[in-house]
Amino acid sequence: MPSPAFSPELRHDWSLDEVMALFDQPFMDLIFRAQLAHRVCFDPNKVQISTLLSIKTGACPEDCGYCAQSASHGTDLEPERLMPLAEAIAAAAAAKALGATRFCMGAAWRNPTDKNLDRVTDMIAAVHDLGLETCVTLGMLTDAQTERLKAAGLDYYNHNLDTSPEFYGQVITTRTYQDRLDTLARIQAAGIKVCSGGILGLGESRRDRASLLRQLANLPQHPESVPINLLVQVEGTPLHGTARLDPLEFVRTLAVARLLMPASQVRLSAGRADMSDELQALCFLAGANSIFYGERLLTTPNAGADRDLDLFQRLGLSFEAVDAAERTVPGPCERCEAH
C-alpha cells in the first residue's frame, strides 16, 4: 500500500508489463496512489477549463470508426465550410466569459491546405488577443505547416493516438499509427505543446488501454495535456452498438494516466454528458484536472455549464486561473522536486 511519502516518477521507459501491473492493482490502492501523485504537482481542488469549437464540420476523408464527421459513414451530420473569422472570435469571447482559459478549434481535415491554414492562423491570433490559450486540431501536418503554426503563436496542438497500436487497425484504416506519431514528433520538435490522448470504449481490451498510455508516457516529452475520452456512440458509425465500458475501468484508466504522466493535465473529455455526477467525482479523485466546458464537443453533446457549476460547487472545486503553460514537462514541477 502506498504511503503518504509517495513520490511520482517522471519516466519515458515504461514496459507494457509495468503499466499492466498498475492497472491490476486493487481499485482503492490505485486511486489512493493516483491522488497522492496528483497532489504532488497540482492543487487537487482546481480544474483547468477548455472549450472546443468545430470550425469546419463533416465530409472528412478519414474512416475513423467512432466519428460522425467521416464521409464514409451514413450519419445525419450536414457538412459545413470553414467558419468565418468573426464567428470564431465571438465563440471564443463567450467561452472566456464562462471561465475557459483555453480555446480549442477543430477542423475535419485529413490535413489542412496552405490556404486553409492562412485562415486558421488568423483565428489563432484573434483568440490570443482575447487573452486565451490556443489549441487546434487539424489532422496531419508538414514541417512547413508546423512552423507556420508555431510562428502564429499557437500554444497547443491536439492529435490523439486514439487507442493502442495493436488495436488501431480495427478502428481506422486511412492513416497509420506511425502517421500520428510523426505528427506528434513534428509538433514537439517545433516547441508547440502537445495535447494527445485516446478514446476508451471502442471495444479494446485492458491491455490495449495500457498500451495506449504506454505510448503516450514514452514519448520524448509527456504531452502537456492528455484527454481521456469515453466513446460517444453515434448512430450510423461502425462503432455504434459497441458494448459499454465498465465505468470503474474508465476511472482506473484515468488513474494510471495520472501515475504515468504526473505533471500533465489529464482531461476528462468526451462522454461526460452521459456520466453521473458520482462517476465524474471519482474521475477527479483519480487525477483528472481538466474538462471541456460548454454544450457541445465538435458534433456531440457535452455536460451543460449549469450542471458543471453545480457539481463543482458540491465538490468544492474551482476553475484553474493560473496559466498552465508555465508548468514544464518533461522535468518535474517545483512541487515534484520538493518531494
- Which residues form the catalytic set? 60, 64, 67, 104, 135, 195, 267
| Cis amide bond preceding 238, omega within 30 | no
The span from the CA of 308 to the CA of 231, in Å, is: 20
Q: Which residues contact 64 (CB under 8 A, 6 or more apart)?
A: 70, 162, 171, 172, 174
Q: Are strands 193-195 and 133-137 parallel, antiparallel or unpaired?
A: unpaired
CB atoms within 10 A of CB 127: 29
Residue 11 burial (C-beta neighbours within 10 Å; 0-12, 13-18, 19+): middle
Q: Which three cell numbers stand for residue 229?
A: 475520452
| Amino acid present at 8 | P
CA nearest neighbour of 174 among 60, 260, 282: 60
CA nearest neighbour of 58 among 45, 39, 71: 71
CA atoms within 13 A on the CB side of 22: 27
Query: Phi then psi for 331, rounded to 5 degrees?
Result: -70, 155
Check: CB of residue 199 under 8 Å from CB of residue 180. Answer: no
CB atoms within 10 A of CB 113: 10
Q: Which residues contact 210 (CB under 8 A, 6 or more apart)?
A: 16, 19, 20, 22, 23, 164, 256
Q: Which three cell numbers stand for residue 52?
A: 472546443
Q: Which three cell numbers stand for residue 167?
A: 488495436
The span from the CA of 136 to the CA of 159, in Å, is: 9
Paired with 103 in beta bridges are: 51, 134
